[in-house]
Amino acid sequence: MSGLLENLTNWHWFILAIILFVMEVFAPGAFFMWIAIAAAIMGIILSLFTGITWEYQLLLFGILSVASLFVWRKVAGKHTTETDQPQLNRRGMQYVGRTFTLEEPIVNRRGKIRVDDTTWKIEGEDCAVGETVKVVKVDGVVLVVEKQPND
């Protein structure tokens, strides 16, 4: 194995970069592109400095890979897109602020509520059937409710 590694050239790194770019095409959203960039940079470095041993090449490739991932996280964090539906994939958050009439009582601070076509677990002050509650926050998959005064 070390015999293969001792013969690493810049072309091996360029080929690895191409393979990783192709993998990114077939698995979009993965981080292969950033590792491919590190491999391409490693190929350029090895073109300029041909005497680097394989141990240092692998070490430098690892450092470049981690660095490129950090750069990606930094860049991706700055370019988040605003949406007109920020709660689209956070279904429970869509119910915050809505009021519901209980069909089952809340006993020992736990209960269930039917919202549209789904039954949700709820937490809140003990309440009887028919009382009105308002969803104030979401804790994982549990809606936290507060009892609302009757009109």
Level-2 CATH architecture, domain 91-147: Beta Barrel (2.40)
The whole-number pLDDT of residue 86 equals: 58
Task: Tell me the one-letter amino acid at 141.
Answer: V
Task: Write out pLDDT tens, residues 108-138.
Answer: 999 999 888 888 899 999 989 989 999 999 8
Dihedral pair phi/psi, residue 128, rounded to 5°: -95, 170
| Three-class DSSP category at 4 | helix
pLDDT reading at 1 higher than 60: no
For the beta carbon of residue 7, count every other beta carbon within 10 angstroms.
Answer: 9
CA angle 59, 36, 28 (to 5 degrees): 135
Domain spans in the chain, listed from the N-terminal domain onward: 2-78, 91-147
The whole-number pLDDT of residue 136 equals: 93
Task: Write out pLDDT tens, residues 2-42.
Answer: 566 667 788 889 999 999 999 988 887 767 888 999 999 99
Task: Write out pLDDT tens, residues 42-70.
Answer: 999 999 998 888 899 999 999 999 998 88
The three state secondary structure string of the chain is CHHHHCCCCHHHHHHHHHHHHHHHHHCCCCCHHHHHHHHHHHHHHHHHCCCCCHHHHHHHHHHHHHHHHHHHHHHHHHCCCCCCCCCCCCHHHHHCCCEEECCCCEECCEEEEEECCEEEEEECCCECCCCEEEEEEEECCEEEEEECCCC
The whole-number pLDDT of residue 50 equals: 85
- Cβ–Cβ under 8 Å, residues 145 and 122: yes
- Cβ–Cβ under 8 Å, residues 32 and 18: no
Task: Write out pLDDT tens, residues 76-98.
Answer: 766 666 766 655 567 778 888 88
The whole-number pLDDT of residue 27 equals: 83
